[in-house]
Chain A
Amino acid sequence: MRAIVDEEVVDMATSSITKTFIVEGKEQAEKFANAIEESYQESLHRKTTPDFEITYLRGAAEVKEFMAKRKKANV
């Protein structure tokens, strides 16, 4: 699969969603463990809330209301 990052077009994994992920072997397992540790340490000091507001619509009624407002604005 692919990701678009800003103006660039870049491939992501075609089969990521259907793939089974197994990390095997000492070297790869150590690399995985080190990545976990490094990211874990960073997570202790990381800001987790985005700088912008995210509104989640929940339930068909909210989506319907949003789409109706959107449609009206575009008429």
Chain B
Amino acid sequence: MYDGVTVFNIREYLSGENDVKLGEDELRQLFSEFFCDKNPDVERFLREQAIEFTKKNQSVTYLVFSKPDDELIGYFTLAVKPITVNPKNFSNRMKNKIARVSEVDKETGTYTLSAYLIGQLGKNFRNEVNTKITGEELLQTAMDTIRELQYRVGGMVVFLEAECEEKLLNFYELQNGFKSFDIREVKCGTENAHCLVQLLKVL
């Protein structure tokens, strides 16, 4: 990395709808600078879903630019999600552990915590600008943004779902301190069936 990154929330573009230099059309134009031929889904999400998800407040996408040349080098998408833990016969020891980040609902006996989901994390492979930021730096940028949000609205946990692949799990667990807590089966019974590892990190 050169001298750091510049980050902004795409809402800043959408809020400038009446400004000829901002607005949705201009934002889509900016998105056209993002290429990821190795993974069309990353590109597709940014181009086709990021704006709608942001408008519906399902998630918010942040664009990341290199310094000093201001190249679009990546993006990440965040959402606030509750995680509900429904334990049965939980020991007091376990209750104490989970109470660090949540409160029990005495009526239902469940624990719910507000957590930040990293829903997308993608580097731009156009003209090799991907070399200007590492995956770890992009993740650190997302984490720093989450810490800003935490200061304003609380929350203690960040989590994500990742494909069950050794290199990726090493990246999250060994290099970046995430802890796996569950596995989710996706598209069960289809030829695309696979498992996702759910990982968390206390902020």
Contact = CB atoms under 8 A, between A and B. Distances in A.
B10 to A, nearest CB: 9
Contacts of B89: 26
Contacts of B5: 52-55
A44 B45 CA distance: 35
A50 B140 contact: yes
Contacts of A30: 87, 90, 94
B122 A2 contact: yes
A58 B77 CA distance: 17
Which secondary structure dominates chain B's binding surface? Answer: mixed
A6 B83 CA distance: 29
B123 to A, nearest CB: 5
Contact of A17 (B41, B58, B88): B58
Classify chain B's interface size: 35 or more
Which secondary structure dominates chain A's binding surface? Answer: mixed
A13 B58 contact: no
Interface in A30-75: 30-40, 42-43, 46, 48-60, 62-64, 66-70, 73
B32 interface: no
- Residue among B30, B137, B167, B179 with the highest chain A CB neighbour number at 10 A: B179
B56 to A, nearest CB: 10
Interface residues of A, number: 64
B179 A35 contact: yes
Interface of A: 1-26, 28-40, 42-43, 46, 48-60, 62-64, 66-70, 73
Interface of B: 1, 3-8, 12-13, 15-16, 19, 21-22, 30, 36, 38-39, 41-42, 45, 53, 58-59, 65, 67, 69-70, 74, 77, 79, 81-90, 94, 97-98, 100-101, 115, 117, 119-123, 125, 130, 134-135, 137, 140-141, 143-145, 147-148, 157, 159-163, 165, 167-168, 171, 177-182, 184, 186, 194, 196, 198, 200-203
